[in-house]
Amino acid sequence: QVQLVESGGGVVQPGRSLRLSCEASGFTFSSYGMHWVRQAPGKGLEWVAVIWHDGSDKDYGESVKGRFTISRDNSKNTLFLQMNSLGADDTAVYYCGRGDGCRGGSCYLDSWGQGTLVTVAS
Amino acid sequence: EIVLTQSPGTLSLSPGEGATLSCRASQSVTSYNLAWYQQKPGQAPRLLIYDASTRVTGVPDRFSGSGFGTDFSLTISRLEPEDFAVYYCQQYGSSPQTFGQGTKVEVK
């Protein structure tokens, strides 16, 4: 069955960087666009980024544009999120999700990982 | 960007009762591209409904979605104990995809 496992979260100081990973299994990873969605403590869901199935295109939410970079390695079935210049507002659980039913880069997410917590604090 | 407003914020109901959750969009959602997710504490969201009314395989038929344009709803016909959770709508008809702020369905 589809499985997505995030890793790389932790506590990081403001202004520093962190790289998240999402290892996929149970499906043909290279056939799907992949997303990152985050959820601040006690808050709702915020879409962060998408990467096309072949990595040919990417898009970002306004709050992370210019600071975060999404990438993928289809040979290793792994999705990444490089996060730079982190601030307190970036504190959240970060989920990776598989996209389907897409209109451009906008998709519903039919499978989600369990999430990894990123805490930005000094 | 399309803003989704969910109402009510919290719904207090008893098991066996019906629930209707609303999701209103600031602009028309393209081609019924609206999904509903369920999230329980400490868990990832789970897709329930996509394309406004298509139930995901394995989702009980007490869950149904409807609507078009700017007004959508999720109906739970008879609440089971496992249905008490937070529900989010999401539009994916235009970029950026956006989520509503959520409706919490709690035990009365």
**Tens-place pLDDT, residues B43-74:** 999 999 999 999 999 999 999 999 999 999 99
CB contact under 8 A, A108 and B47: yes
Beta strands in chain A (DSSP E): 3-7, 10-12, 18-25, 34-39, 45-51, 58-60, 68-73, 78-83, 92-103, 106-112, 116-120
CB contact at 8 A, B37 and B105? no
How distant is the Cα of A16 from the closest Cα of chain B, in angstroms?
27
As a three-state string, the secondary structure of B48-99 is EEECCCEECCCCCCCEEEEEECCEEEEEECCCCHHHCCEEEEEECCCCCCEE
Select the residue from A108, A110, A116, A117 to test the B interface by mutation, using most B Cβ atoms within 10 A.
A108
pLDDT in tens, B4-30: 999 999 999 999 999 999 999 999 998
Mean pLDDT estimate for chain A:
96
Give mean pLDDT, residues B73-94.
97
Candidate from A44, A47, A111 with C-beta closest to B102: A44
How distant is the Cα of A61 from the closest Cα of chain B, in angstroms?
7
Q: Which residues contact A29 (CB under 8 A, 6 or more apart)?
A: A72, A74, A77
Query: Which chain B residues have a beta carbon less than 8 Å from that of A115?
Result: 44
Give mean pLDDT, residues A63-71.
98
How distant is the Cα of B49 from the closest Cα of chain A, in angstroms?
9
First to last CA, chain A: 40
Tell me what pLDDT residue B97 has.
95
User: Which contiguous run of DSSP H or E holds residue A64?
Assistant: none
Q: Which residues contact A63 (CB under 8 A, 6 or more apart)?
A: A46, A89
CB contact under 8 A, A106 and B99: no
Residue A79 has pLDDT above 90, yes or no: yes
Q: Report strand pairing: A116-120 vs A10-12.
A: parallel
Tell me what pLDDT residue A106 has.
87
Give the Cα-Cα-Cα angle A119, A49, B85 (nearest 5 degrees): 65
Query: Which chain A residues have a beta carbon less than 8 Å from that of B35?
Result: 108-109
Select the residue from A98, A107, A109 to test the B interface by mutation, using most B Cβ atoms within 10 A.
A109
Residue A15 pLDDT level (bands cut at 50, 70, 90):
very high
